Amino acid sequence: MRVLLTTLNSKFIHSNLALRYLQEACPAEETLLEEYTINDRLEVIAGEIYKSCADVIGFSCYIWNITQTLELVGILRQVAPRTVIILGGPEVSYDPAAYLAPSMGVDYVVFGEGEETFRELIALLETGPRQNLKQWRDAAGLAEIKGLAFSTAAAPTVNAARELIKDLAQIASPYITTAGLEHKIAYVESSRGCPFNCQYCLSSTLAGVRFFPWERTKAELQKLVAAGVKQIKFVDRTFNCNQGHALKVMRYLAEWHPAVNFHFEISADLLDETMLEFLQQVPSGLFQFEVGVQSTNLTSLDLISRRTDLAKLAANVKAVRAGGRVRQFLDLIAGLPGEDYRSFANSFNEVFSWQPDKIQLGFLKLLKGSGMRSKAADWDYRFAAAPPYQVLQNSWLSYAELLRLQGIEDMVDKFFNSGRFKHTLAYLINMFGGDAFALFEALGTYWEENGYHRQAQNARKLYELLAEFFRERMRLEETEFTELLKLDYLLWEKPTQVPTWFNSPSIPCFRERVETFFREGLLQLMPQLKPLSRRELHRYFHLEPFSPCLAAYLNLPLLSEEEPLYLLFYYPGALIKAERPGYIPVAL
């Protein structure tokens, strides 16, 4: 029997961990694994799946792909009527019977932890007649499989739920093979479960935390690094819920120090002094943390049953930040009970003041089976009926306010999370009296008024539009702002041609003086560059004049009172040993 396991990931760079567990659990003669994305054309995906000639097709289902998955099932049911179709995953686990209506075309739903259920189902199907698996039913055998729902002539049958697997060591590793993972994001779990009871999260429906054997997790990490993955994300719901376990894993990774980034979801208020001291010494860029703050409104946190020591969380985030070695992405959720628009602005500004590397502004989703969904009527929640079930309004936030927050999220992502506008944003926020939320709110309003929210803009265009925003909205002298914008631009990319908004000063014989500098001054400054040709030097360096006002802002001495401030920007490559662009002041 041939089994095809497949899914639609949200991006090409992602990979699916669940399918790899099922592939190793599957007892079929042949088990294939194919991953697509929600951006691929469904007719192309359907054609590829059809050509696999699989007897059984298993789909991994989530809020981001369930709609397209059901469309695919509808196509395949028409052209491959004898193929057995199985759905599994969190999106179908809460109400499996809903996916077994005759019009759906689904034969089985695996709900809950699926490894054992899927193995038993495939083993049972293997005993049936291959030429007519679709019609074959071993009613007694199916009824014995916990965690399985299946269609019958009378009505869908939902068996008893399967108990959680206590000994995770009995689950086969999902990384017996690592084929197809090169340059992708790979996912690892060193534990299952969560100690917390946050009402918006499905993890709250499961009690306790179970750990995989460390030697097994270590072997998986070694395989993934050898496979050339781009990043490894630990999907443990709260990676540091056990400080001893977290420290053991991180110490091993720090000593090993492979050329891979490791991502962890943590509760920052649980970090102890031993961990904080360790994080001051880890290799820079090896780790990044995703910290679920969600809100700084204590009433909201209480209503969603989230236990957080906010004072300790803030102190620990700042301590990690001071070490400068670990990137931190802090999460906020708009639409929580008890938090209105002004309260959310306060939460945003407080979290922003902790200086994270990113603020991930998300919107509450009322997931099937979550505590929040069961209480939706109590708080007058209106939310989308279709996945991802995003909140539209509630007793504290109107739809208009949520739309405004969506515009703010876009601005935060474009201008703050991109990291491209460090100096410019600091300058603008200061002009807004330190109110970061007010700045992004003003940007969002400006964006919508000019229709930019309906247009795609590349990174270079954003600099131009930010200059336009300053010119039209701030109505102040532009020199200092424009110089900072130039600085931000050149710290990210070498210009192939100077943008019109640069407003570079007119300097007599500037081009000739630059050529003389590249021929003589640069090589005196960096003798190691002598092997490079003039063309290569221009490829990795750019010299730009700035207004003298920038010297004070950057705390740089002016090398000449009569001359502009000249900054030499360098870009990684060739003999330039740097992780990212930088600059040094020079004299012409």
Rounded distance, CA 182 to CA 159, Å?
39
Q: What does the block give as tokens for 555?
A: 């705390």
Confidence at residue 196, expressed as pLDDT on a 0 to 100 scale: 84
CB 241 within 8 Å of CB 194: yes
CB 556 within 8 Å of CB 585: yes
Confidence at residue 496, expressed as pLDDT on a 0 to 100 scale: 83
Query: Residue type for 124, please?
Result: L
Rounded distance, CA 405 to CA 334, Å?
8
Confidence at residue 499, expressed as pLDDT on a 0 to 100 scale: 86
b/e map 64-88, b = 16+ CB within 10 Å: bbbebbbebbebbbeebeebbbbbb
Nearby residues of 22 by Cβ (< 8 Å), 6 or more positions away: 5, 58, 88, 114, 115, 118
Rounded distance, CA 77 to CA 85, Å?
9
Tell me the pLDDT tens digit for each residue of 423-442.
999 999 999 999 999 999 99
Distance, CA of 167 to chain centre: 30
Q: What does the block give as tokens for 426?
A: 């600091």
Confidence at residue 344, expressed as pLDDT on a 0 to 100 scale: 98
Confidence at residue 204, expressed as pLDDT on a 0 to 100 scale: 59
Q: What does the block give as tokens for 300?
A: 């909201």
Listed residue (162, 163, 164, 173) closest to 194, CA to CA: 164
CB 126 within 8 Å of CB 28: yes
Cα distances (angstroms) measured from residue 64 to each of 58, 90, 401, 524, 588: 17, 11, 24, 56, 56
CB 420 within 8 Å of CB 488: yes
Residues of the chain scoring pLDDT < 50: none
| Sheet containing strand 582-586, strands side by side | 541-546, 565-570, 582-586
Rounded distance, CA 244 to CA 518, Å?
54
b/e map 306-317, b = 16+ CB within 10 Å: bebeeeebbbbb
Listed residue (141, 90, 86, 147) closest to 115, CA to CA: 147
Q: Cis omega before residue 388 (within 30°)?
A: yes
Confidence at residue 131, expressed as pLDDT on a 0 to 100 scale: 66
Q: What does the block give as tokens for 517?
A: 């500098």
Residue position matching structure tokens 């100077």: 498
Domains of the chain: 2-158 (3.40.50.2300), 169-397 (3.80.30.20), 510-586 (no CATH)
Confidence at residue 199, expressed as pLDDT on a 0 to 100 scale: 82
The torsion defined by the Cα of 327, 332, 333 and 337, in degrees rounded to 10, comes to: 150
Helix, coil or strand: residue 343: helix
pTM: 0.93
Confidence at residue 269, expressed as pLDDT on a 0 to 100 scale: 96
